[in-house]
Every structure is written in structure tokens, then in C-alpha cells.
Structure 1
């Protein structure tokens, strides 16, 4: 019996690790498939966790369980959960992860930091003075798994703060706060961390990771590498190789240039400079590759123009004629929840064309407020689906429109 137990464990471990419904995922042509071969469409929301505190937002107002329940009530199936490389830098270079209590004090000051921390613990009594930031991410992932929602982890920033601008130091490889080697290390660490904690059932619904949010040309190049597709290719392929080696199960999302609004040379495998071409067939893990785009054309007046632009900027990869036929997910779009934006051309157009293309999406943003944003504590987020204290939806009409998009995408 003792001789058989280790063998039994080895034989059963993979099936246990991959039990959460039908994982891992893979891709085939333009589709994402679960482990049964069924098509899966990303339908979800962004939950920010890359600000100065470097934990998922809203926990001073609500429990993780209640927040996830609200997402679940919309029938969404995925959360894009953002993180900052700075958290990993602390773990690797500065003596270990920071406790959540200390993170609040550092970001908000002694008085306010302690006050907010006490509110977090009141709503989430599973945390205590020794709880670290990464352990909060673990807890969020575990609750998402518990409620049947998949996790897409996204590297949003290197330094923990609000994103994004061309002068925030995080725009491009080698920018003031964008240390390329630490970025690579951070991605590798998180991919490995997720794989390790599968055994504790905390990250069982983790299916994908975004290598970097919104590449953009920095205002001051400084020591930054040249802003072009050739550099984009070299750095992203290096990152993807590391991530896949650390965790071969997860999908890898590539974002484009100009705030992730352009991936136009990728569908056609066009020359990226110096003879380099992104060719899916060259990757040994070609069935793990996904493209992601963002769109914030809130002032749009013509849906056909929007549709044409999105298609040419990257969604063309969905077409059978594309040399790199791949899934494309709109991982960010959004608008104010305080007015009638939900009923204007931009919102109504996306509600129609993204489901029409059978493309996945994650709306920006869940957060009704932030611990701190751009120096303002308890910042009101007018684009937040939730209200300021995370207790209810901010605008019922906007949520009704979003439910229509969910239903159309899941049909």
C-alpha cells in the first residue's frame, strides 16, 4: 500500500489540478477551447489591483465573496485581474512581500492607512496583520474559482500606480520604471506561483496571462529601447517563452502598440523590421497564443467606421484568410456610468459587433472607487460598474445594456 500511494498520487495529480471546469484552455485557429474541445468566449470585467497599495480594489467596502457574487450575478465568466511588477520586486529584492497593513500605511499615510486596513479586515476577517499582498491575490483567485469564474492575470504596470500615460515611467521597455529584466522575472514568478498553488486549489481557474498592458511611446526616451515593432517582437517573445516554460498550461495574451489599439502587422505576419515576422507556427506552444486589443472611441459617431478600424487594427486575425489566424479579445473598453453613454454610438456599437464576431471581452471597470488614484485617496470612479462603496450597481440602465452584451456573447 505504501509503495502504491506515491504512484497513485502522481497519476491522479494532473486530473485533480485540471478539474476546475474543463481546464486548461488551448486555441485552435480563431477559437479558444476548453479541455473538452468546446468553444469558450471571454465575457468579463477588469478588477484593478495594480495601484499603489498593490492589492485588488474595494476590500475596505466589501468582502471578496460579495464582490465576486456581484460579478457572477451578471453571468460573467472571467475576471481580468491586474497586478504590478513592483510587488514581485519587493519579494525578490527587498526581503519578502509586504503585509497588506504596511502597504496601506505606505500608500495612504499612518492614520488613513490604518483606518482603511481596519475596514478591510472587518469585511474580510480571514486576513490579519501577517497577511501579504500576494496572499490577497491568492484569496481573490480562490473565491473566483469557488464561484466558477476564470482568472486572467494581467501585468498592468511595473511600478504600482494609476495607468496609463506616456510620461508615467511605465510606457516602454527601459522607461524610467520599466526595468525589462525585472518585468521578465515578474512574469515568470507569477506564472510559477500560479502553477505551484494549483495544489492548494487557490488558482485552479487561472487560464491566461497578459504580458503587458498598453505599450506606448514614452515622452522622454531616455534609456528606453527604440519604440518599434521589432523591439516589441523581441521582448514579447522572450517573455512568452519564460511564461510558457514556467506554466505551460496557461494562454498568453499579446497586446499591441499605441495603448494596445494597434496590432495591425500581426494577422498578416508582416515584416516587423529587420526581417522579423510574428508567425504563430514558429511557436512550439502555438496553441496557447491570443491577441488582445483595447478601444476607447467614446466620441465615435459612426459604428461602421469603428468596426472597420477595429478589424484592421487586429481583429482581422479572426478571419480564415489571416496568416496568423488567432483568437482576439477586447480586454478593455468602457465609458462613464453616470450619464447616457451606455446608449450612445460607442457603447451600442461594441455591444453589437463584438458578439457578432464571437470575440471575447472584459469591460473596464468593476471598481466604484480606488484606495488611491493619482494622489487622491478614496477616489471616485465614474466609469465603475459598482457605486462608490461597492454595494450596488452605479447605473441600472448601463448594467441592463451590459447584460444584453453578456447574453449575446454567451449564446
Structure 2
């Protein structure tokens, strides 16, 4: 793969100008341990190989904002200590067997190790800021859903995005950063979406101009219709990607996906004045 990636109208392309289709799996690392899930059961190398074997070329690797903004958590707590604090003694034993070189790494170093291993298997990575406090996501009124919520202070969020973008500036397989998963809740509104998502996008690009900057919509990222009449305004060129989520377990996935791609939300992006591209995240429940 010729990195970095960029956008050309509706397409994502590589450095040679060739179209790139991202086929990503979702790998959570935002839960209470702040460690990529499953590594107490399998070596990270084995997980990467299986992702490749299934035909995927990309991993959407989630992270909590605290991993970037809580220095004590990120650098002073090891994988072993994180599991121990949660009473996960069996996971400590399993992790030591499957990934012994990672068990005593600080949490941020363990996260970086996963990214490196994925890169060693030619897997691209999208770093997804899933929430602020490590834990399950996402309730409508969990105080984690929109700018100004108890656990979602815009300045802290921008600082965290900037730090993660800087940390992974030298990782060529980190091709994109999704600014925040599934904005939601009673505070959500269009004006603040534009204000802060544009600020976050500029901050990420300023820290790491190589990555795609990925913006999600409102109402659990099911609504981007508002960009039809109000384009996103950035100084960034060739890096903006929109992300939209769709839920359900359809009997006919192909037909369901085609209908979704013709919906008002996706049409709004394709007809907006924004220089844009699309990353569609289909999440089956």
C-alpha cells in the first residue's frame, strides 16, 4: 500500500492516485481495561493474521479519551495492573500466556504495540475516539454523548485528539482518525456539531497531516442530512471523510445496503458543497 491516503471527490486514494476500498473490522479497546479485547485468549499476531485471512484490510481500533488525557492511566498503569484493579485475575494469566511481551507494558504502549503488529501484517488502522471514560458505549443520556456533557469537555477532547495524532504521526499504517463515535443525547445540536467537529478536524490535521480526518453525524451517527445546506468549512484539502452508521439484521443485506446508500442522509453528503468522501460503517446488531 502506498501511504498516506487522501481523498479525491468521493473516492479514497493512495499516494499513487489509486482507489482504496477500506474493509475494516471493529476492534474495541475502549472498555474498562483500556486494552484491545481478546488478547488474554489469543496472541495479537494471531488476531492480525485472522483478520487478514477473512479478507479485511483495515481495523477500526477504538480508544477512550482518558488514554490520551489521563497521564497516570496511560503511562503509569500497566496491562497487568489494569486487569488486577478490575479483579480480572484469569485474564492476567491468559494474557501472560498469549502476549507475554505486552503484559507489563503501560497501557498506551500496549495500544501502540497492537497498532504496530497490525501494520506488520499490512493492515491499515483507523483510530476511533469512542468515548471519554473507559467503559461500555453508548446510552442516550450517559453524559458522554455530546459536547458540553459531563464527560465531554471540548477543550480536553481536542487536546486528546491532538496527542493521539502526534503519537501516531510516525505510524504509516494509521491512515485515519475518527473524531468521535456516535454523537448523541439531549444536548446534541447542529451549531455545536459544526463548531467543534471543525475545530477537532483542524487540530488532528495540524498534528498529523497524513491521516484522513473522519467526521461522524448526529443521533448515533445516523444523521448527516444537515450538511446538505451547510457544508463543512476546513482549511484541510483532500483529507475529509464522513462516517455514517446503519443498524439492523436485514434478511437481504445487499438490498438493505443499497437502500441505505440511497437514503436522504447519504444523499445529503453526496450533494453538499463540501469537498468530501464517504466512509460507511455498517454495524449489525
TM-score normalised by the chain length of structure 2: 0.92
Give the Å deviation of 1:96.
3.8
Alpha-carbon displacement from aligned partner over 1:260-317 (angstroms, at most 9, x marks no partner): 0010122x2x1xxxxxx324xx422131000001111336889867644543343226
Give yes or no for the alignment of 1:99 onto 2:78: yes
Give the Å deviation of 1:127.
2.1
Q: Is the 8 A contact 1:60 1:123 kept in 2?
A: yes
Q: Is the 8 A contact 1:150 1:206 kept in 2?
A: yes
Match of 1:126 in 2: 101
Give yes or no for the alignment of 1:249 onto 2:213: no
Q: Is the 8 A contact 2:36 2:111 kept in 1?
A: yes
Q: Is the 8 A contact 1:261 1:313 kept in 2?
A: no
Q: Is the 8 A contact 1:27 1:327 kept in 2?
A: yes
Q: Write out aligned runs for 1:369-388 (5 A).
A: none
Cα 1:305/1:119, change in 2 over 3 Å: closer
Q: Is the 8 A contact 2:34 2:134 kept in 1?
A: yes
Q: Output the CA distance in 2 between the equivalents of 1:284 and 1:179.
A: 24
Q: Is the 8 A contact 2:74 2:106 kept in 1?
A: no
Q: Output the CA distance in 2 between the equivalents of 1:76 and 1:95.
A: 29
Cα 1:82/1:324, change in 2 over 3 Å: same
| 2:244 aligned residue (270, 290, 293) | 293
Match of 1:209 in 2: 177
Which structure has the bigger radius of gyration? 1
Match of 2:278 in 1: 328
| 2:18 aligned residue (35, 38, 42) | 38
Q: Output the CA distance in 2 between the equivalents of 1:302 and 1:133.
A: 38
Q: Is the 8 A contact 2:240 2:275 kept in 1?
A: no
Alpha-carbon displacement from aligned partner over 1:230-251 (angstroms, at most 9, x marks no partner): 1100010111111111001100
Give the Å deviation of 1:33.
0.5
Unpaired runs of at least 5, structure 1:
1-20, 219-225, 271-276, 336-411
Alpha-carbon displacement from aligned partner over 1:54-103 (angstroms, at most 9, x marks no partner): 11100110000000110000121100000001122321x66944211111
Unpaired runs of at least 5, structure 2:
none
Q: Write out aligned runs for 1:1-80 (5 A).
A: 21-80=1-60
Match of 2:219 in 1: 258
Give the Å deviation of 1:117.
1.5
TM-score normalised by the chain length of structure 1: 0.65
Q: Output the CA distance in 2 between the equivalents of 1:95 and 1:57.
A: 17
Give the Å deviation of 1:125.
1.9
Cα 1:123/1:94, change in 2 over 3 Å: closer
Q: Output the CA distance in 2 between the equivalents of 1:243 and 1:48.
A: 21
Alpha-carbon displacement from aligned partner over 1:197-237 (angstroms, at most 9, x marks no partner): x2xxxx2200000000000024xxxxxxx421111000101
Match of 1:180 in 2: 154
| 2:66 aligned residue (79, 86, 100) | 86
For this pair of structures, how many residues does the alignment match?
A: 285
